[in-house]
Amino acid sequence: MKLNCKINGEFREAEGVWEGESLLYVLRERLDLPGSKNACEQGECGSCSVYMDGTLVCSCLVLAGQAEGRDIVTVEGLADEDELHPVQESFVEAGAVQCGFCTPGLIVATHDLLERNAEPSDAEIREALAGNLCRCTGYEKILDAVKLAAGKNGKGAS
């Protein structure tokens, strides 16, 4: 089948999509957007998190056909090519990245959290990110990164 949707602000088309493919597969294997990651492919780890019409979803759980005509934003779409979004900057600065496989999903999920709640408490951060597994960091520096990003946002960054 043919799939049309808006991805990171551009209209994109994918041809020859098998009906059983997930949005994650189409992004990664057909549209050259491998930033969203394939760690569990069953909605448990959050590594494939993207926005669909402004809602945070696991792209592995979205059938490609369900994305028809939708507005998708992936980790690649959060900042211009040579720029970093404050959330991305904070993850690097805080040391919240090790192997980095969970990172794109956490970046999108944190972006979503801070859109909804500019100054989340420790418990609110933990609740919002409980669907994102990280195997390397023990999460402490991820908490630091989210707090750092919230502070940067508070200072009027984008």
Chain residues that interact with another protein, rule: CB under 8 A: 18, 20, 28-29, 32-42, 44-45, 47, 74-76, 79, 84, 88-89, 91-93, 95, 97-104, 107, 123, 125-127, 129-143
CB of 59 to another protein, least distance (A): 12
The residue among 37 and 152 lying less far from another protein, judged by its C-beta, is 37
Tokens in use for 104? 């794109």
The residue among 81 and 155 lying less far from another protein, judged by its C-beta, is 81
The residue among 67 and 75 lying less far from another protein, judged by its C-beta, is 75
CB of 109 to another protein, least distance (A): 10
The residue among 66 and 98 lying less far from another protein, judged by its C-beta, is 98
Q: How far apart are CA 6 and CA 4, in angstroms?
A: 7
CB atoms within 10 A of CB 26: 25
CB of 97 to another protein, least distance (A): 5
CB of 157 to another protein, least distance (A): 15
CB of 13 to another protein, least distance (A): 18
The residue among 92 and 118 lying less far from another protein, judged by its C-beta, is 92
| Nearby residues of 75 by Cβ (< 8 Å), 6 or more positions away | 35, 36, 50, 104, 105, 107, 108
| Nearby residues of 115 by Cβ (< 8 Å), 6 or more positions away | none
Residue 105 host element (H or E): helix 103-116
Residue 4, strand partner residues? 13
Provide the 3-class DSSP secondary structure of residue 106.
Answer: helix
